[in-house]
Amino acid sequence: MHIPTLIRRITLPVGALLLVTACAGGASAGWTYAPLGPSPNASAAASAAPGTPAGSGGPGTTVSLETTQDQPIAFNPTTISVTPGATVTVNYMNNSNLPHNIDFFNGPDNNSPSLGKTDVGTGPNNAQTMTFTAPTTPGDYMFWCDVHTSAMKGTLHVQ
């Protein structure tokens, strides 16, 4: 008697499962099923500090920068510090009448890839938020305004 291939492929795993179930009977097989992939560690997740997302590259950090009407081509502050691998949320407020944004680079200058940036917007009261992951290597990294480039820049210090 000839059984089509598709039916053999479907019924063989089902048959094997029934055989294993029947052989086990009511006695314990001495092993348990373990799902593929990492198991969640409930105690580690419960003990995580507030502001530290489970599984992130580091603790969360929020920084605020502003450009004022009094200093319309400057970030205040010009240097910010974060920990390596931190999830960094940047709140940028442009309170000047000039168009600005903020662009963070993964290196000492604009030849490095961008870590993230806001849109260009004109103030006053132009508030923008962006999030990126800080580099894991300690050092100084550049940020600037894409409109005013080297005239308006700062340093992201990863320590």
User: Rounded distance, CA 5 to CA 30, Å?
Assistant: 34
User: Rounded distance, CA 123 to CA 18, Å?
Assistant: 70
Radius of gyration of the chain (CA): 28
* 111-114 long-range Cβ contacts below 8 angstroms, 24+ apart: 112/141, 112/142
pLDDT (tens digit, 9 = 90+) per residue, 76-103? Answer: 999 999 999 999 999 999 999 999 999 9
Distances, alpha carbon 22 to alpha carbons 10, 16, 28, 29, 146, in Å: 19, 10, 12, 11, 70
For residue 19, pLDDT over 60 is answered with no
Q: What is the pTM of this model?
A: 0.63
Distances, alpha carbon 73 to alpha carbons 100, 108, 124, in Å: 9, 20, 14
Mean confidence (pLDDT) of the chain: 77
Least-confidence region, from 2-11, 14-23, 85-94, 99-108: 14-23
Question: How much is the pLDDT for 3?
Answer: 57
What is the set of domains in the chain, with CATH numbers? 56-158 (2.60.40.420)
Question: 4 exposed, middle or buried (CB, 10 Å; 0-12, 13-18, 19+)?
Answer: exposed
Count Cβ atoms below 10 Å from residue 20 Cβ, excluding itself.
10
Q: Which residue has the tokens 């309170």?
A: 95
* Higher pLDDT pick, 28 / 46: 28
Question: How much is the pLDDT for 84?
Answer: 95
The stretch 20-49 carries a mean pLDDT of 43
The stretch 104-133 carries a mean pLDDT of 95
Residue 48: pLDDT band (50, 70, 90) is very low
Question: How much is the pLDDT for 60?
Answer: 85
CA 128 to chain centre: 18
